Amino acid sequence: MLNLPAFKVAAVQAAPVFLDTQATIDKACALIQEAAGNGAKLVAFPEVFVAGYPYWNWIMTPVEGSPWFDKLCRSAIEIPGPEIHRVAQAAKQHGVHVVIGVNERSKTGIGTLYNTLVFIGPDGKLLGRHRKLIPTWAEKLTWANGDGASLRVYDTNIGKLGGLACGENTNTLARFSLLAQGELLHVASYISLPVAPPDYDMSEAIKVRAMAHSFEGKVYTVVSCSTISQEIIDAFTPTIPNAAQMLKRKNSAFSGVIGPDGRVVGEPLIDKEGIVYAEVDLGKCIQPRQMHDIVGHYNRFDIFDLRVNRRTQQSASFSDTSESPSLDYDDESSGNHSTDNLGNALK
């Protein structure tokens, strides 16, 4: 018999402690504790919450923003690593699933960053990560492209869980690739974007995209968006005197939960910092699919054929022996450092 769970979710709408990794991790752990204390089984955090978004790409020239890129690289984290381990331990301590956005630094390229979503189980184990496939617009000055290896849905005890970062929630094929894996619960992480064109309502655009995914896929979407703190504005003001004017625009952030009928569940948050809670019942994902199940009976797979390359892309592939040769002498204690001994060690 099919048993689908019902539970409470939490969508965090907050600003990081800008480019301060440890302080932001502290804040994330405190928010996990708060949300879990209020009964949440899933806590969703904004895009690159650890530890900040590159707003300088929008309000400075690339040359002016270069010192900020250096700061971002230094504050970025590796996965796995001690910073995300602390978040995982908080998830385990409070028994919740966590999805959190981070700036991920490449282990082999200190100037290569990814916009990454990290999925963590209630046992504190990393379920996986998703690297944003294509940075949006000015973001291309900061982040590298992700690959299809992270287009995955995780089978958890609260249902099949997937997620995408910000603009890629507009990418129909990326969204479909998750739905095709049975996704029932989708996390959409965003940042507040007050520097959008004047006629662009960011909060409404976020909501519309979430509604589209939920209505098309008959799934729940948990939207978590960051806010812009006064600290962030103050950081840019010495270089950009009108930073406050550029970064305080209203209707720039939306966090909330969308049901499988495409409607908002409960009350969302617009612009203000806080946590949105909503009750989710995955059983409600069934009936709407009688009308439209786009990954099942309401499609024509004899006509449409989507192929997804999930091979990990690497900068180099090395063919090597199983063990690296030792460069030590055969017998250092003997004091015999002959060429023959060194030669034998390299064989």
Q: Which tokens sit at 289?
A: 């699919």
Residue 199's Cβ-count burial label (10 Å; 0-12, 13-18, 19+) is: exposed
How far is Cα 326 from Cα 339, in angstroms, rounded to an integer?
15
Report d(CA 276, CA 298) in Å as an integer: 33
| Choice among 41, 83, 104, 132 that is catalytic | 132
- CB neighbour class for 134 (10 Å; exposed up to 12, middle 13-18, buried from 19): middle
Task: Verify whether residue 285 is a known catalytic residue.
Answer: no
CA distance linking residue 128 with residue 97, whole number of Å = 12
Select which of 166, 168, 218, 285 is catalytic.
Answer: 166
218 catalytic residue (yes or no) = no
Q: Which of 47, 57, 222 is nearest to 130 (CA)?
A: 47
Between CA 267 and CA 255 the distance in angstroms is 9
166 catalytic per annotation: yes
User: Which residue in 47, 83, 139, 183 is the catalytic one?
Assistant: 47
Strands 264-270 and 220-225: unpaired
Active site residues: 47, 132, 166
